[in-house]
Amino acid sequence: MPSATAMFHEPLPSHETARGVMGSTLRCLAVLELLATPPFDYGLTQIAQVLGLAKATARRFLATLEAAGYVERDADQRRYRLASKSLVVGTAYLRRSPVYRAAYLHMQELARVAEVMVHLAVKEGDSVLFLCTVGQPGAVYLYADIGERRPVHATAMGKLLLALGPQAEAQRVLSGHLERFTRYTMTDPKVLAQELEMIRQKGYAVMYREIYEQLGAVAAPVRDSSGQAVAAICADVNADQLTPESELHYARILLETALRISAQLGYRPANPDLTILTTLGEPFLPRRLDGVPISRQPSLTSKKISSR
């Protein structure tokens, strides 16, 4: 994952950057954002260096945030971390989120029935932002904290939301740097563009060892009343157990669950059953070797999916 230093490499504004925008406030908020990244506690010198601030300026920002209750210091008074008031403000996003409220109970049921770890996320810039994770004992354990970010090009939910979002946004990501996390990560823009087109055709996405070697995932879109994909849910699967047959099985139950969530947001497809049946077809797997798509084996796609 990107380091804190990499996330804050841009120079911070030192004065009013636009009418009505206070540069000093933006820089103070940048301190708060830094403390929300691993390792979650920082010394004064480290904060100043990462954000490109003078130590005296960083000290004033920290004193302001501490007085407001958003930041606290550890016992030896040398390192700063977020205080509980930051949690109150941060979780207000979920408390008012219709997507989160619509998805939570359905995610719990999916995790229970399928015995998988289920995630809910939205796209934010070049990342997917995790809103919720639920799981069951025995599920593939890759917990994602609320507020955690992962890159769009190396995650099932990220690729899905990128494919179903504005074309201009997809082109922006494709024209940028695609970081490699494993030998399966799609770092060639042409390969990723082909993947996005397949996702548009099929209506769901698959991640296979692209961010962690042992992890696979299948994702389905959550749509609002206009039909726009506003979020995604996914199931984590052990990569060794992700086969063409299991892919289609997970795709079907994820699409069904996503459709129920979408219905609570006002989405009304013309034919819900047909929507799911026509998006499956040939699976993504077997998919590629060393990040390059490999030929599919039609005999594998013809096998019937066993119900669980």
The model's confidence at residue 101, banded by pLDDT at 50, 70 and 90, is very high
Residue percentage of the chain with pLDDT more than 90 = 63
What is 4-89's CATH topology? Arc Repressor Mutant, subunit A (1.10.10)
Helix or strand run (H / E) with residue 51? helix 44-51
How many residues are there in the chain? 308
Tell me how far apart the alpha carbons of residues 151 and 128 are, in angstroms, rounded to a whole number: 6
At CA 52, angle to CA 50 and CA 56, rounded to 5?
105
Max intra-chain CA distance, the chain:
67
Say which amino acid occupies 202.
K
Say which amino acid occupies 250.
Y
User: Is pLDDT above 90 for 137?
Assistant: no
pLDDT in tens, 176-206: 999 999 999 999 999 999 999 999 999 999 9
Which has more pLDDT, 220 or 294? 220
Spans of all domains in the chain: 4-89, 97-301
Q: How much is the pLDDT for 302?
A: 30
Tell me how far apart the alpha carbons of residues 251 and 111 are, in angstroms, rounded to a whole number: 14
CA-nearest of 38, 58, 39 to 49 is 58
User: Is pLDDT above 50 for 8?
Assistant: no
Beta bridge partners of 132: 120
Cα distance from N-terminal residue to C-terminal residue, the chain: 34
Q: How many CB atoms lie within 10 A of CB 1?
A: 15
Could you give the residue ranges of the DSSP H alpha helices within 135-227? 156-164, 167-175, 189-202
The model's confidence at residue 303, banded by pLDDT at 50, 70 and 90, is very low
The model's confidence at residue 295, banded by pLDDT at 50, 70 and 90, is very low
Tell me how far apart the alpha carbons of residues 86 and 35 are, in angstroms, rounded to a whole number: 10
Query: CB–CB of 143/117 below 8 Å?
Result: yes
User: Is pLDDT above 50 for 56?
Assistant: yes
Q: What is the mean pLDDT of the chain?
A: 84
Question: Is 97-301 the same fold as 4-89?
Answer: no
Q: How much is the pLDDT for 277?
A: 54
Instruction: Calculate the alpha carbon distances from 284 to 95, 216, 299 in Å.
Output: 36, 12, 14
In whole angstroms, what separates CA 306 from the centre of its chain?
29
CATH number of 97-301: 3.30.450.40
Please tell me the pTM assigned to this model. 0.80
User: Is pLDDT above 70 for 14?
Assistant: no
User: Is pLDDT above 50 for 289?
Assistant: no
